[in-house]
Structure 1
Amino acid sequence: MSISFDGRVAIVTGAGGGLGREHALALAQRGAKVVVNDLGPGAQTVADEIKAAGGQAIAVSCSVTDFDAVQAMVKTTMDTWGRVDILVNNAGILRDKSFSKMEMADFKLVVDVHLMGAVYCTKAVWDIMRAQKYGRIVNTTSSSGLFGNFGQSNYGAAKMALVGLMQTLSLEGAKDNVKVNCLAPTAATAMTEGLMPQVVLDKLAPAAVTPGLLYLVSEDAPTRVILNAGAGTFARSYVTMTLGTHIGTGADADDQVAAQFEAISSRDDEVVPQSGSEQGRNEVGKAMAASS
């Protein structure tokens, strides 16, 4: 195992089972001291499993939607080990229904757990990581957010929001060696039972995702990456921008957008913007070129 986490301290949320458990076990196996977070008894079970294998772990049972409890978890981590190097925002729930049938309480709950849970955990460790000039944060996004999935408007919205959070935090953390990435896993867990045929679920062991997570939180990790992982296959997703067409602001501009929509949509020479300002630079650049 060439990737080592000796001396590193990791917090893994939702680690009482499924993907989080695999992440926590793998980090501990490679030398990390691990805070196992979950709501139920699974957190202590996983922490005990790590300790039985010779690793170091503590269990913290709290909801990531409770900012005070999250801050207390981070304080416990600092009191115990004096640093936080890795945060894996993995905790999540499902409340699937088509949008027309979905209760707004279920929409809000999913957003609170996935998005605000990650925000709270990240906020609680952010200044610690900046001060120690080292941090690795992974948000767990999803193909449902990146590409959509019927019946998961709440889940998809929250998961795509985590990409937006990553995009900005990767920029803000760069000067302090705080790297922020997203992992988009496909795995058979308690959350996905009944959503896919058993023959497919058998291929999707959570452990097959974890190697990607280990790289994203390693010493040599990239930053601002969306890594797709499932069944031992790894790929990358990108938020891209076409170069577009300058139409101007004439009275027929709306008609021209319609008429030239194919050219506007052309992916020839599309780019992956490194910040949001690149959209504006592209637009103003084309406008200036057209008026010169």
Structure 2
Amino acid sequence: MPALADRVVIVTGSGRGLGREHARLAAREGARVVVNDIGAGPDGRGSDPGIAEAVAKEISSAGGIAVASAADVRTMRGATELLDLAVDAFGTVHGLVNNAGILRDRMFANMPEDDWDAVIEGQLKATFAPTRVLAGYWRDAAKSGREIKASVVNVPSTSGLIGAVGQTNYGAAKAGIAALTVILAQELSRYGVRVNAVTPVARTRMTENVPGVAEMVAAPADADEFDVYHPGNVSPLVAWLLSEDCPDNGAVYYAKGGEIRRFAGWSYEWTIDKGRRWTVPEIDAELRARSAQTVSAAGPHA
């Protein structure tokens, strides 16, 4: 049986790249899909409803079932519109992939306030709004006695979890999405909702425009060679997390090519406890010694 048979799945930002691949695979795995995309540029400007419509038609032509939405999920109004469309078309919703996002790279000291606000809104709020609307929908359904087996898949980034120069706005938003994932997994499980995340490494409009990265993620010249950075490589993990019987909740994964890793999250590296208040000189001596030990243990390339 297909992994997503009889499931209804919303994929935001699914007009191109990763989202398109997630939507197409979900449909092939039996899901009825809501393809959501406002058709904006990578920086969040502009709109073209035909982008989502084209993917929905592509899925339908291949024998799947899909409807298109150009609702702006950066707003609660748009997120509510998206939910209403899904329920009107298919009667319910079982899964949400928060793939929508934008990028405006700039060194922090040169970053205009608008670029900060736009990326926080286009990433973090574009994850918050549809998740908040659907969380309320699933909570109310659970309280009415319905058994809910729903799944949310969010999309952080190594820019936020590890760091990347020139992406403070993007990285901060993506780190926030990872934190949101972990906390919502604890909050929403009581209603039958699982929340996980996949950090993708793939060729998209965003990576193709980054100097140095574009060359690294380019498709291989040999058509028979495995295309490590093809966005479709990430989709099977997303589909598994959307499946009804997936056991994971609160996990943050990394996916690239055929490689899957699971992030361990923030943890304590070491602890010192004097048992009473420290003085500044004592802290200076202790933490300098600790830092020297860390550098020494890491080796000459730390």
* TM-score in terms of structure 1 length: 0.85
Map of 1:169 onto structure 2:
184
Number of residues of Structure 1 aligned to a counterpart in Structure 2: 265
- From the superposition, tell whether residues 38 and 266 of structure 1 become closer, same or farther in structure 2 (CA, over 3 Å): farther
Map of 1:242 onto structure 2:
269
Q: Aligned-pair distance for 1:127?
A: 2.4
Other structure's SS at 1:260 match: helix
Q: Aligned-pair distance for 1:249?
A: 3.8
Which stretches in structure 2 are left out of the alignment for 5+ residues?
Answer: 40-49, 220-227, 295-302
- From the superposition, tell whether residues 265 and 4 of structure 1 become closer, same or farther in structure 2 (CA, over 3 Å): farther
Q: What is the letter of the counterpart of residue 98 of structure 1?
A: M
- From the superposition, tell whether residues 264 and 246 of structure 1 become closer, same or farther in structure 2 (CA, over 3 Å): farther
Q: What is the letter of the counterpart of residue 152 of structure 1?
A: Q
Q: What is the letter of the counterpart of residue 57 of structure 1?
A: A
CA distance, structure 2, for counterparts of residue 76 and residue 49 of structure 1:
19
CA distance, structure 2, for counterparts of residue 78 and residue 255 of structure 1:
63
- From the superposition, tell whether residues 264 and 86 of structure 1 become closer, same or farther in structure 2 (CA, over 3 Å): farther
Map of 1:192 onto structure 2:
207
Show CA shifts across 1:239-284 (max 9, x none): 12235121244252x43333333659999xxxxxxxxxxxxxxxxx
Q: Aligned-pair distance for 1:221?
A: 3.9
CA distance, structure 1, for counterparts of residue 102 and residue 159 of structure 2:
13
Show CA shifts across 1:40-98 (max 9, x none): 22100110011111111100002211211210110111122121110000001110010
Q: 4+ residue runs of structure 1 moved beyond 4 angstroms? A: 262-267
Show CA shifts across 1:123-173 (max 9, x none): 110122232422100110000000110100000000000011111110011
Q: Say whether residues 1:160 and 2:175 are aligned partners.
A: yes
CA distance, structure 1, for counterparts of residue 191 and residue 75 of structure 2:
27
CA distance, structure 1, for counterparts of residue 278 and residue 153 of structure 2:
47
* TM-score in terms of structure 2 length: 0.83
Residues 247 and 256 of structure 1 are in contact (CA less than 8 Å); yes or no, is this contact kept in structure 2? no
CA distance, structure 2, for counterparts of residue 116 and residue 21 of structure 1:
21
- From the superposition, tell whether residues 250 and 35 of structure 1 become closer, same or farther in structure 2 (CA, over 3 Å): same
Which of the pair has the greater relative contact order for Cα pairs under 8 Å at 6+ separation?
2
Residues 207 and 214 of structure 2 are in contact (CA less than 8 Å); yes or no, is this contact kept in structure 1? no
> C-alpha root-mean-square deviation of aligned residues, in Å?
2.0
Q: Say whether residues 1:256 and 2:271 are aligned partners.
A: no
Q: Aligned-pair distance for 1:179?
A: 0.7
